[in-house]
């Protein structure tokens, strides 16, 4: 703990945005100010540190009225890994260089004592590596995917589930009117948490998630049975990272050069297959980044504010290389390295999946 000089801490937001980021920033800033510290924001994830020009002072006014706002006032990127920074060579080719030493230099130049790094899997991995190289870091777990094992839940997830559930609710009437199968592709590259929770809450007829490989014929049979039973329409929710039994997830080549594969296309494939196999008209909706936008729910706001406050507590105690974690009823610190080591996946025989099955929801298995 510093004594003779005011403590100077920095905060950044990395990776894909999630509702609640601004609430964390506000809690970090106000908690730090209440300790008599100075606070600085780093722009665009780690970019502001690598380039050295993105360190901005944050005061009470900077974080006024932002608790309920989606996005992040600091900006973010999921392409700013300082350990693999692209550098263009004279012949136009690109090589990856490690610019992490510059982060440590810029940190020291600004007289910063600690970094609160708000991020998901990727950004917290970077935080963990920087911590091993001597940067005093406290992590805050963010991701709508809810796939970090070391915390009961990440902020942003609750809002994304609500957004997805609202969308499914609205699809019931149009699907029913047209007697159609509506397929909804939801986010979740490696895990099906959003799809599972929204699918159950929104009364889907089938839920397709990466943790339970599906059979197309089994899915088609479930839809035929639903039409027979009535009402004659169906809602199928598909996680973007889902894969058919014995098959692979669907990837799209974002840059057209094979270097930037992204998950996507599984919903469309499922819709086409279902239409062909059942004869029922099927349409696909990709909800996409809507799930990351908008105002955080009250649950996510509170969780984000608690995480921000707890992160400042960990800094004050000198507990670096940690991540704040919800372990009800408390928020406490867990080692960052452990926190990023395991992905939290949906247990196929857990109570949520069991509940869904009892409600007559098919997983296509």
Instruction: Output 143 or 163, the one with its CB closest to ligand F6P.
Output: 143
CB contact set of 301 (below 8 Å; sequence gap of 6+): 20, 23, 67, 68
Of 123, 302, 363, 249, nearest to 310 by C-alpha is 302
| Distance between start and end Cα atoms, the chain | 55
Residue nearer to ligand F6P on the CB measure, 76 or 128 = 76
CB nearer to ligand F6P: pick between 31 and 191? 191
Least distance to ligand F6P from the beta carbon of 44, Å?
Answer: 13
**Subset of 51-110 contacting ligand F6P (CB under 6 A):** 78
172 vs 189, which CB is nearer to ligand F6P? 189
Retrieve residue 158's tokens: 């609750």
Q: Among the residues of 51-156, which ranges form H helices?
A: 100-109, 121-132
- Among 16, 48, 139, 296, which residue sits at the site for ligand F6P (rule: CB under 6 A)? 16
Distance CA 293, CA 212 (A): 28
Instruction: For the CB of residue 160, give the shortest distance to ligand F6P in the complex, in Å.
Output: 8
Report d(CA 333, CA 327) in Å as an integer.
10
Restricted to residues 232-251, the positions that interact with ligand F6P (CB under 6 A) are 240
**Closer CB to ligand F6P, 200 or 286, in the complex:** 286
Stretch that binds ligand F6P, among 137-145, 197-205, 266-274, 300-308 (CB under 6 A): 137-145
* Nearest residue relative to ligand F6P (C-beta): 187
Exactly one of 13, 31, 143, 159 binds ligand F6P (CB under 6 A); that residue is 143
- For 200-220, b/e burial (b = at least 16 CB within 10 A) is bebebbbbbbbbbbbebeebb
Among residue numbers 298 through 327, which ones bind ligand F6P (CB under 6 A)? none
Q: Which string of DSSP letters, residue by residue, matches 186-245?
A: E--SS--HHHHHHHHHTT-SEEE-TTS-B-HHHHHHHHHHHHHHSSS-EEEEEETT--BT
Q: Output 187 or 340, the one with its CB closest to ligand F6P.
A: 187
Q: DSSP per residue over 22-53, as a string?
A: HHHHHHHHHHHHHTT-EEEEESTTTHHHHSS-
Under rule CB under 6 A, residue 364 binds ligand F6P:
no
Residues designated catalytic: 145
Residues 6 or more apart whose CB falls under 8 angstroms from that of 204 comprise 168, 184, 198, 235, 236, 237, 361
Q: Are 237 and 199 in contact (CB under 8 A)?
A: yes
Which pairs from 162-165 meet CB under 8 Å and 24+ separation?
162/297, 163/287, 163/290, 163/291, 163/293, 163/294, 164/194, 164/195, 164/197, 164/198, 164/202, 164/237, 164/287, 164/291, 165/197, 165/198, 165/201, 165/202
Q: How far is the CB of 72 from ligand F6P (least distance, A)?
A: 13
Q: Which of 48, 120, 199, 249: binder of ligand F6P (CB under 6 A)?
A: 120
User: Which of these ranges, 41-49, 67-75, 141-149, 274-282, lies near ligand F6P under the rule CB under 6 A?
Assistant: 141-149
Spell out, one character per residue from 270 to 299, where the chain touches ligand F6P: x when CB under 6 A holds, - when not.
Answer: ----------------------x-------
Contact 120, 13 (CB under 8 A): no
Number of residues this chain uses to bind ligand F6P (CB under 6 A):
12
| Choice between 67 and 76, CB closer to ligand F6P | 76
Binding residue for ligand F6P, selected from 137, 144, 223, 323, defined by CB under 6 A: 144
Q: Which of residues 177-216 bind ligand F6P (CB under 6 A)?
A: 187-189
Q: Where along the sequence are the contacts to ligand F6P (CB under 6 A)?
A: 16, 78, 120, 143-145, 187-189, 240, 263, 292
């Amino acid at each position: 703990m510093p004594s003779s000089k005011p403590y100077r801490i920095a905060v950044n937001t990395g990776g894909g945005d999630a509702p609640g980021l601004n609430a964390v920033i506000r809690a970090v800033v106000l908690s730090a100010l209440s300790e008599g510290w100075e606070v600085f924001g780093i722009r665009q994830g780690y970019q502001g540190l690598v380039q050295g020009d993105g360190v901005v002072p944050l005061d009470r006014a900077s974080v006024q009225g932002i608790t309920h706002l989606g996005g992040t006032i600091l900006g973010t990127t999921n392409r700013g890994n300082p350990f693999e920074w692209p550098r263009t060579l004279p012949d136009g080719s690109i090589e990856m260089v490690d610019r992490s030493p510059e982060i440590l230099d810029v940190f020291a130049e600004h007289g910063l004592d600690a970094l609160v790094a708000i991020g998901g899997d990727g950004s917290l991995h970077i935080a963990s590596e920087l911590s091993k190289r001597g940067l005093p870091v406290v992590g805050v777990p963010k991701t709508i995917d809810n796939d970090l094992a070391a915390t009961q839940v990440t902020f942003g997830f609750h809002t994304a589930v609500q957004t997805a559930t609202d969308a499914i609710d609205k699809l019931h009437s149009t699907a029913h009117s047209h007697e159609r199968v509506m397929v909804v592709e939801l986010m979740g590259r490696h895990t099906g948490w959003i799809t599972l929770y929204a699918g159950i809450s929104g009364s889907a007829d089938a839920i397709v998630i990466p943790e339970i490989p599906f059979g197309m014929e089994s899915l088609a049979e479930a839809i035929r049975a639903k039409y027979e039973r009535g009402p004659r329409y169906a809602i199928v929710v598909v996680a973007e990272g889902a894969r058919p039994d014995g098959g692979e997830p669907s990837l799209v080549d974002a840059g057209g050069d094979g270097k930037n594969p992204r998950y996507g296309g599984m919903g469309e494939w499922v819709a086409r297959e279902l239409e062909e196999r059942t004869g029922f008209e099927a349409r696909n909706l990709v909800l996409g980044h809507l799930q990351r936008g908008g105002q955080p729910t009250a649950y996510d706001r509170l969780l984000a504010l608690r995480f921000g406050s707890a992160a400042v507590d960990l800094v004050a105690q000198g507990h670096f290389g940690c991540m704040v974690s919800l372990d009800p009823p408390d928020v406490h610190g867990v080692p960052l390295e452990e926190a990023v080591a395991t992905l939290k996946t949906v247990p196929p025989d857990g109570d949520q999946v069991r509940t869904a099955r009892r409600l007559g929801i098919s997983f296509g298995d």
